[in-house]
């Protein structure tokens, strides 16, 4: 899909690493679920509430894995909304966006009620007005920037984990010897136990918060699944052991009405100073949850605005690169919930919406994989597909039912509101359908080929990994210039002939593969538009063929275009086993081509090396023939691993008999080879000096 300059200006900065992923998720989970909810849970199910926490954590695994897969395939702001809108289309996307935003607001309002209870222990102040003031403070922090917000999370979550670790170590030896009672374990039977599993599921709602900020996470293919796994493991252990200690040392009659159960338990197992630190840790946990909640929830209006499902103002970024209107709306929503609702209703409703969201996320994985969209290439894939996802969906539906009539009625009402909003506002503004129509190809007129390009474009935001070798891809590329009267089919035929010789596949088969995948995006420009068709082959390396035509080449619908005129085509052949790498390379290429000066340099270049240098603004590329009668003849019959290459230079490729070979160590240089050397800007040697850079 073509990207406009305005859209590019709205991209969020990638600044969050693995530690940020862990603390955003853990900070979102380790708050009210531990410091407030155990008393309410034990009141409903007795001591079995302890086991309910562990089972809920286990049942959250399918959704966690699905969130990780979707986040690495489409690392964009909006998280669950973005996934569901691309999978099911704008109608379901509208419902999902509103429902997930509401669940985040409710969950963090629940955290603020817990903060009020702990503030009443430490200070004699009106809790609710103070909570609203804290919401305002965190709203300002999130307007000032997500990295500052996430950095604050590091300190808050680190402190919470240290104090909580002390509490667990001191409390575990008291199990069996405190004033609490673990018998009868299933006090309210199986029904009460399963109902409480649904109730405590709100504790694991932080899983979706990381997905909401995926557009700002560095190397999401690694950091998202690893960070989420660590966070879920740590949180499940903390919930289970923390609630076990509370049940074991606090009398049941006191625990049932206690809104600060961990503090009460800490008074039994820690010195006075330790109990005070628990209060401070709880306040830090509630603060981190509120902070993470605003950070994540504000990205939902941003993503929905990008798809024209809510007002355009929600995609406006401040000079701090944050979605100010989404942050403000989230802060106002949290304040209203704190002021209006009671703790029990908020807990049930928040859990119901979390379960609804996670169930839909599991279904999105099933749809996107079944659609077989070529550009859906997640860096992490959830195992046991589709059985794991189906199990997760069934569990989520069962637990929502177990939460009771209130949860069913309110989630149903939210779904109706979302559908009505879409019919009134979004239906005439939505720009594409979902991937689900690809599953049912018999509905051919409804299939939206643009969704393929949309997902391809989302992959651009992955950024390169250290081993992606973008300079090498450019260095090995072939450059073809065609006459102005050549159409797309002739340009593709010529590119396929060159590529076919390289990968030893028939040219017609190469062309058919590009047509089959139909995956490309177009870089618009008033003077130098370009397009990047992408296809995957069973090959060992990625290859790039550049076709230039100063007069322009029209991209017809059969090739995934809309009759756009482009001055250059970049045919990228990726490896079937590493589709994510090819998409990241294509994204990096598109980033250079989006700048008019780079695209202009490609069009104006007279030689192949000049074309390549335009795509490598910080490097130079030189191509040198090895001829016996020249000074380069001294390199003939030498193995590459026998050469000493000067620092700052890299021997990337060897062109031999129409083929391009990687410069592997065991390769012997032959007469008439052409070597491709990458070096510092304006620092390449002259032909006669090549042997000084590649010394034997």
pLDDT number for residue 163:
94
Quick check: 119 and 301 in contact, CB under 8 A?
no
60 and 180 within one domain: yes
Is the omega angle on the peptide bond into residue 386 within 30 degrees of 0, that is, cis? yes
Provide the 10 A C-beta neighbour count for residue 475: 26
Q: How far apart are CA 413 and CA 411, in angstroms?
A: 5
pLDDT in tens, 207-261: 877 776 677 787 778 888 999 999 999 999 999 999 999 999 999 889 888 889 9
Q: Please report which residue ranges of 202-323 form alpha helices under DSSP H.
A: 207-212, 220-249, 252-255, 261-269, 272-297, 299-306
pLDDT number for residue 431:
65
Quick check: 256 and 42 in contact, CB under 8 A?
yes
531 and 414 within one domain: no
pLDDT in tens, 544-557: 999 998 788 888 87
Q: Does residue 326 lie within any of the structural domains?
A: yes
Residue that is last in its domain, among 397, 426, 455: 426
Q: How far apart are CA 299 and CA 209, in angstroms?
A: 10
Quick check: 255 and 38 in contact, CB under 8 A?
yes
What is the domain count for the chain?
Answer: 3
Q: Which two tokens stand for residue 608?
A: 């192949």
Residue that is last in its domain, among 589, 614, 639: 614
pLDDT number for residue 85:
80
Residue that is last in its domain, among 591, 614, 637: 614
Q: How far apart are CA 252 and CA 241, in angstroms?
A: 17
- Residues in Cβ contact with 510 at an 8 Å cutoff, skipping those fewer than 6 apart: 496, 499, 500, 503, 535, 537, 573
Q: Which two tokens stand for residue 280?
A: 């401070």
Partner residues linked to 566 by β-bridges: 553
Q: Does residue 229 lie within any of the structural domains?
A: yes
> Do the bridges between strand 564-575 and strand 543-555 make them parallel or antiparallel, or are there none, so unpaired?
antiparallel
Residue 661 has pLDDT above 50, yes or no: yes
DSSP SS3 for 319: coil
Q: How far apart are CA 561 and CA 549, in angstroms?
A: 17
Q: What is the mean pLDDT of residues 647-672?
A: 85
Residue 451 has pLDDT above 70, yes or no: no
Q: Which two tokens stand for residue 664?
A: 């592997």
62 and 209 within one domain: yes
pLDDT number for residue 463:
63
DSSP string, 11-29: PPP--B-HHHHHHHHHHHH
384 and 277 within one domain: yes
* CATH code of the domain containing 530: 3.40.930.10
Is the omega angle on the peptide bond into residue 184 within 30 degrees of 0, that is, cis? yes
Q: How far apart are CA 90 and CA 70, in angstroms?
A: 17
Percentages helix, strand, coil for the chain, rounded to the nearest 5? 65, 10, 25
Q: Which two tokens stand for residue 618?
A: 């910080």
Quick check: 475 and 678 in contact, CB under 8 A?
yes
Q: How far apart are CA 25 and CA 555, in angstroms?
A: 44
- Tell me the range of 396-410, 511-525, 588-602 where mean pLDDT is highest: 396-410
Instruction: Report pTM.
Output: 0.72
Q: What is the mean pLDDT of residues 61-67?
A: 95
pLDDT band at 276 (very low <50, low <70, confident <90, very high): very high
Q: Which residue has the tokens 């420009």?
A: 525
Quick check: 22 and 231 in contact, CB under 8 A?
yes
559 and 645 within one domain: no
Q: Does residue 439 lie within any of the structural domains?
A: no
Q: Does residue 8 lie within any of the structural domains?
A: no
pLDDT number for residue 663:
83
pLDDT band at 3 (very low <50, low <70, confident <90, very high): very low
pLDDT number for residue 4:
37
Quick check: 462 and 639 in contact, CB under 8 A?
no
Residue 119 has pLDDT above 60, yes or no: yes
pLDDT in tens, 146-193: 555 556 667 878 899 999 999 999 999 988 776 777 888 888 888 889
Q: Does residue 440 lie within any of the structural domains?
A: no
pLDDT number for residue 616:
84
Q: Nearest CA to 15 among 158, 154, 212, 219?
A: 219
pLDDT number for residue 273:
93
338 and 475 within one domain: no
Alpha carbon 236 to chain centroid, angstroms: 23
pLDDT in tens, 69-110: 988 887 765 667 778 887 888 888 888 888 888 888 888 888
Residue with more model confidence, 386 or 410:
386
409 and 495 within one domain: no
Query: Angle at which helices 272-297 and 146-171 pack, to 10 degrees?
Result: 150
First to last CA, the chain: 49
Q: What is the mean pLDDT of residues 351-372?
A: 89
Quick check: 28 and 287 in contact, CB under 8 A?
no
pLDDT number for residue 14:
60
Burial 525-534, CB ≥16 within 10 A → b, else e: beebbbbbbb
Q: What is the mean pLDDT of residues 60-77?
A: 86
Q: Which of 384-398, 409-423, 551-565 has the lowest mean pLDDT?
A: 551-565
pLDDT number for residue 370:
85
Residue with more model confidence, 350 or 439:
350
- Give the domain range for residue 43: 13-426
Q: Which of 138-142, 181-185, 463-467 has the lowest mean pLDDT?
A: 463-467
DSSP 504: T
pLDDT number for residue 77:
59
Q: Does residue 595 lie within any of the structural domains?
A: yes
Long-range own/partner contacts, residues 496-505 (CB < 8 A, 24 or more apart): 496/571, 498/545, 499/543, 499/545, 499/571, 499/573, 501/658, 501/659, 502/478, 502/543, 502/659, 502/660, 503/537, 503/539, 503/543, 503/573, 505/537
Residue 674 has pLDDT above 70, yes or no: yes
Q: Which two tokens stand for residue 588?
A: 């990096």
The proportion of the chain whose per-residue pLDDT surpasses 70, expressed as a percent, equals: 88
Mean pLDDT, the chain, integer = 83
pLDDT number for residue 6:
37
* CATH code of the domain containing 97: 1.20.1740.10
479 and 538 within one domain: yes
Q: Does residue 457 lie within any of the structural domains?
A: no
Q: How far apart are CA 542 and CA 475, in angstroms?
A: 12
Q: Nearest CA to 292 among 366, 353, 234, 206?
A: 206
- Residues in Cβ contact with 36 at an 8 Å cutoff, skipping those fewer than 6 apart: 110, 111, 113, 114, 117, 259, 260, 261, 343
* CATH code of the domain containing 668: 3.30.70.1450
Taken as a whole, the chain contains a residue count of 696
668 and 550 within one domain: no
Q: How far apart are CA 267 and CA 270, in angstroms?
A: 6
203 and 330 within one domain: yes
Q: How far apart are CA 576 and CA 586, in angstroms?
A: 15
623 and 482 within one domain: no
Q: How far apart are CA 605 and CA 602, in angstroms?
A: 5
pLDDT number for residue 170:
95
Residue 675 has pLDDT above 50, yes or no: yes
Residue with more model confidence, 270 or 406:
270
Q: Does residue 444 lie within any of the structural domains?
A: no
Quick check: 402 and 198 in contact, CB under 8 A?
yes
650 and 635 within one domain: yes
Q: Which residue has the tokens 């009668």?
A: 629
Provide the 10 A C-beta neighbour count for residue 665: 9
Burial of 4 from C-beta contacts in 10 A (0-12 / 13-18 / 19+): exposed
Q: Nearest CA to 346 among 410, 416, 252?
A: 410
pLDDT band at 302 (very low <50, low <70, confident <90, very high): confident
């Amino acid at each position: 899909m073509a990207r406009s300059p305005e859209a590019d200006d709205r991209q969020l900065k990638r600044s969050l690493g693995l530690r940020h992923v862990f603390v955003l998720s853990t900070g979102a989970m380790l708050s009210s679920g531990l410091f407030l909810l155990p008393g309410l849970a034990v009141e409903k199910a007795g001591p079995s509430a302890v086991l309910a926490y562990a089972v809920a954590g286990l049942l959250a695994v399918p959704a966690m894995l699905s969130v990780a897969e979707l986040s690495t395939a489409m690392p964009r702001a909006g998280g669950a909304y973005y996934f569901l809108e691309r999978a099911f289309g704008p109608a379901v996307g509208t419902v999902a966006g509103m429902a997930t935003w509401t669940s985040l607001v409710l969950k963090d309002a629940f955290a603020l009620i817990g903060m009020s209870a702990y503030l009443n222990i430490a200070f004699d102040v009106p809790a609710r007005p103070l909570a609203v003031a804290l919401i305002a403070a965190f709203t300002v922090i999130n307007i000032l920037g997500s990295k500052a917000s996430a950095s604050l999370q590091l300190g808050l979550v680190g402190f919470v984990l240290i104090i909580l670790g002390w509490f667990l170590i001191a409390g575990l030896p008291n199990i069996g010897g405190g004033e609490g009672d673990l018998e009868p374990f299933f006090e309210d039977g199986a029904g009460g136990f399963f109902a409480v599993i649904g109730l405590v599921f709100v504790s694991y709602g932080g899983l979706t918060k990381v997905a909401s900020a995926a557009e700002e996470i560095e190397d999401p293919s690694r950091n998202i699944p690893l960070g989420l796994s660590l966070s879920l493991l740590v949180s499940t252990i903390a919930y289970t052991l923390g609630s076990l200690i509370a049940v074991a040392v606090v009398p049941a009659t006191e625990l049932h009405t206690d809104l600060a159960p961990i503090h009460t338990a800490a008074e039994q197992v820690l010195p006075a100073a330790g109990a005070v630190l628990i209060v401070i840790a709880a306040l830090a946990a509630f603060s981190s949850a509120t902070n993470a909640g605003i950070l994540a929830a504000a990205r939902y209006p941003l993503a929905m605005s990008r798809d024209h499902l809510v007002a355009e103002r929600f995609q406006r970024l401040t000079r701090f690169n944050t979605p100010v209107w989404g942050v403000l709306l989230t802060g106002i929503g949290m304040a209203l919930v704190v002021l209006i609702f009671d703790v029990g209703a908020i807990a049930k409703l928040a859990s119901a919406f979390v379960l609804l969201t996670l169930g839909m996320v599991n279904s999105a994985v099933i749809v996107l994989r079944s659609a077989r969209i070529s550009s859906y290439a997640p860096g992490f894939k959830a195992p046991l597909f589709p059985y794991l996802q189906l199990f997760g969906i069934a569990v989520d539906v069962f637990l929502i039912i177990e939460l009771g009539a209130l949860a069913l009625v309110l989630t149903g009402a939210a779904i109706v509101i979302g559908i009505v909003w879409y019919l009134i506002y979004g239906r005439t503004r939505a720009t594409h359908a979902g991937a689900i129509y690809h599953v049912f190809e018999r509905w051919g007129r409804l299939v939206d080929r643009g969704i393929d390009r949309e997902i391809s474009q989302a992959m651009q935001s992955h950024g390169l990994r250290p081993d992606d070798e973008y300079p090498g891809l450019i260095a090995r590329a072939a450059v073809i210039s065609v006459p102005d009267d050549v159409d797309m089919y002739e340009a593709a035929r010529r590119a396929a002939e060159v590529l076919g010789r390289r990968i030893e596949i028939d040219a017609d088969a190469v062309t058919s593969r590009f047509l089959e995948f139909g995956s490309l995006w177009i870089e618009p420009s008033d003077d130098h538009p370009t397009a990047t068709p992408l296809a995957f082959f069973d090959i060992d390396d990625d290859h790039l063929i550049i076709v230039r035509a100063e007069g322009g080449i029209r991209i017809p619908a059969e090739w995934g275009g809309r009759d756009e005129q482009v001055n250059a085509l970049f045919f990228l052949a990726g490896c079937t086993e590493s589709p994510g790498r090819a998409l990241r390379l294509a994204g990096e290429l598109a980033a250079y081509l989006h700048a008019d000066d780079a695209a202009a340099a490609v069009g104006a270049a007279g030689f192949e090396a000049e074309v390549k240098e335009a795509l490598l603004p910080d490097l130079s590329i030189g191509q040198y023939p090895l001829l016996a009668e020249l000074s380069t003849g001294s390199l003939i019959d030498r193995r590459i691993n026998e050469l000493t290459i000067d620092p700052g230079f890299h021997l990337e490729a060897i062109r031999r008999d129409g083929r391009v070979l990687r410069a592997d160590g065991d390769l012997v240089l032959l007469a008439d080879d052409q070597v491709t050397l990458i070096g510092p800007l304006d620092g390449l040697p002259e032909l006669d000096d090549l042997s000084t850079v590649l010394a034997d």
